[in-house]
A = this chain, B = another copy of it.
Amino acid sequence: MDVEQFRRAGHAAIDRICEYYTNLGAGPVSSSVKPGYLAPLLPDAPPEHGEDFSAIAADYERFIVPGLTHWQHPSFFAYFPTAFSFEGILGDLYATAAPNPGFNWSCSPASTELEAVVMDWAAKLLGLDPAFYNASGVGGGALQTTASDSALIATVAARERIMSLSAHAQTPLSLDKLVVYVTTQTHSLGLKAGRVLGLHVRALEVRAQDSYALRGGVLQQAMEEDKAAGRWPFILITTVGSTSSGAVDNLPEIQVVLANHPEVWLHVDAAWAGIALCCPETREELYLAAINAAADSFCTNFHKWGLVNFDASTLWVRDRKVLNAALDVTPPFLRTAHGDSGAVVDYRNWHLALGRRFRSLKLWFVLRGFGAEGFRKYIRQGIALNAVLGTLIAGSDILELVTPPSLALTVFRLAPPGIDPSVLNTLNSAFFARLAQRSDLAITQTVLNDVFCVRFAIGAARTTEMHVRTAFDAIMEEARATLTAA
């Protein structure tokens, strides 16, 4: 493809994106293809001779689009939102158009320096303590692919810290004695970090009466048990806004407990809810003061609710030395004069891989395009829409809220008056199966301490009150049909 062919194909691609978003709300949310649909439609090997892009673009429409789930559809309420903005698309386009692997400063100085600047912008937007700014020279932030990567990196840094603390002890720690703490409501990222690292993971119990948040007393007791048994909890992965129900672990209580255990790294995963910290009115309920006072690392995903196209997970650490010490590898072919002098940040030592995309461009474009005010307005709109849904469910005679609505997430179930509680899970499983069959909205399930629930997460950029009310009508329709069939 030459420059002029690319110009035509590129303009057509942009026009196609415009058309897609203009018409998105009118089509289905989910795909109706069956597993294995695609392979029979495509050749089983690459073509021997190059094809014209018009044929490729046509096949995209014919074969790929029917298999897409439309995460940006205004009636997408499943999982968590995957952010989208036109500014985000443009940032990604600029980045991919002049790709560089960004592993050290001289790879492309602008990549490193813009990341350092916009991570500080993001920290300020969210109200993080200046200790986390790159400008502090002590803490700092970097863009990661996902919250799973961020939690894994935090766990590696934490392990490095406790192992180095013990390195001069008479009997150095064995990896087999280390324990990662999560809760039963922590996202799979906690268990996955443990699996990747081959370390024990202990899931601390949370209770319904605490809205599924970790309490200090539970942590305290677990610490005592494990220490007495010769095990070493070395990181606690807490959640601000859990996936299942938006639970916020009790960070003030946790802070008090961990004050006596400085060897335990406190990671705060706020992958979804952390973005809401841009609105000052959320900061108390999300325990920002405790995050600022006590977190060793903090993660939120701009690619979930934060308008930046996937992937853009922001991770901040209080002490970059620990992180860099854990991840630094500098063979001769990666040495540079600037790096050797310490004058520059080499972001390869802030993440798992070597190469990295120029992700800060899209974050920069989004923060400038929306401005802090526009960004907050968008988040507040999601919270307001969720309040509408919460009111509708609370007012229904056959649905009930399982937990109080959290920011833009509502968890509910079918619970008609007088029903035998022992059949509720079976009933809700059937209810959800009906909802999952529909292609005009997307919702997901979860289980909260053995209670089967339906989750409704708001945050697609084009969702309006009409879409929420229409979705509620569909939910009620399926709820009634479930009861009729039961």
Apart from A82-B101, A89-B96, A195-B328, what are 9 other A-B pairs with CB-CB below 8 Å?
A: A1-B86, A17-B93, A44-B124, A45-B372, A56-B369, A60-B361, A148-B355, A188-B354, A192-B353
A152 within 8 A of B: yes
User: Which chain B residues lie closer than 8 Å to A402 at the CB level?
Assistant: none
Which residue of chain B lies nearest to A343 when distances are taken between CB atoms in the complex? B35
State in angstroms the CA–CA spacing of A87 and B96 once bound together: 11
Interface residues of A in 95-136 (CB under 8 A from B): 96-101, 105-111, 113-114, 116-117, 120-122, 124-125, 135
Also in contact, A326 and B114, with CB within 8 A (given A10-B14, A14-B11, A121-B46): no
Other-chain residue from B39, B89, B94, B447 in contact with A117 (beta carbon distance below 8 A): B39
Also in contact, A46 and B368, with CB within 8 A (given A68-B110, A114-B38): yes
Query: Contact: B46 with A372, CB < 8 Å?
Result: yes
User: Which chain B residues lie closer than 8 Å to A97 at the CB level?
Assistant: 13, 17, 20, 89
Other-chain residue from B30, B196, B243, B343 in contact with A327 (beta carbon distance below 8 A): B196
User: Which chain B residues lie closer than 8 Å to A198 at the CB level?
Assistant: 156, 159-160, 163, 175, 197
Also in contact, A117 and B42, with CB within 8 A (given A98-B72, A327-B196): yes
A365 within 8 A of B: yes
A contacts with B: majority SS = helix
Interface residues of A in 302-352 (CB under 8 A from B): 303, 309-311, 326-335, 337-338, 343-344, 352
- Count of A residues near B, CB < 8 Å? 149
Query: Contact: A9 with B86, CB < 8 Å?
Result: yes
A406 within 8 A of B: no
Query: Contact: B50 with A373, CB < 8 Å?
Result: yes
Interface residues of A in 157-206 (CB under 8 A from B): 159-160, 163, 174-176, 187-189, 191-192, 195-198
Chain A 370-404 interface mask (CB, 8 Å, partner B; 1/0): 11111100000000000000000000000000000
Other-chain residue from B111, B192, B365, B371 in contact with A47 (beta carbon distance below 8 A): B371
Also in contact, A33 and B68, with CB within 8 A (given A97-B89, A371-B47): no
User: Which chain B residues lie closer than 8 Å to A67 at the CB level?
Assistant: 108-111, 113-114
Chain A 11-40 interface mask (CB, 8 Å, partner B; 1/0): 101110110111000000011010111110
Query: Contact: A93 with B89, CB < 8 Å?
Result: yes
Q: How far is the CB of A176 from chain B (nearest CB, A)?
A: 5
Other-chain residue from B37, B60, B111, B309 in contact with A99 (beta carbon distance below 8 A): B309
A296 within 8 A of B: no
A207 within 8 A of B: no
User: Which chain B residues lie closer than 8 Å to A66 at the CB level?
Assistant: 110
A71 within 8 A of B: yes
Q: How far is the CB of A306 from chain B (nearest CB, A)?
A: 12
Query: Contact: B68 with A98, CB < 8 Å?
Result: yes
Q: A residues bordering B, Cβ < 8 Å?
A: 1, 3-7, 9-11, 13-15, 17-18, 20-22, 30-31, 33, 35-39, 42, 44-51, 53, 55-56, 60, 63-72, 79, 82-90, 92-94, 96-101, 105-111, 113-114, 116-117, 120-122, 124-125, 135, 145-149, 152, 156, 159-160, 163, 174-176, 187-189, 191-192, 195-198, 243-244, 303, 309-311, 326-335, 337-338, 343-344, 352-355, 357, 361, 364-365, 367-375, 436, 444-447, 455
Cross-chain pairs A/B with CB under 8 angstroms, 9 sampled: A42-B117, A55-B368, A56-B364, A96-B309, A101-B146, A148-B353, A160-B198, A192-B354, A337-B436
State in angstroms the CA–CA spacing of A42 and B116 once bound together: 12
User: Which chain B residues lie closer than 8 Å to A4 at the CB level?
Assistant: 18
State in angstroms the CA–CA spacing of A170 and B6 once bound together: 64
User: Which chain B residues lie closer than 8 Å to A371 at the CB level?
Assistant: 46-51
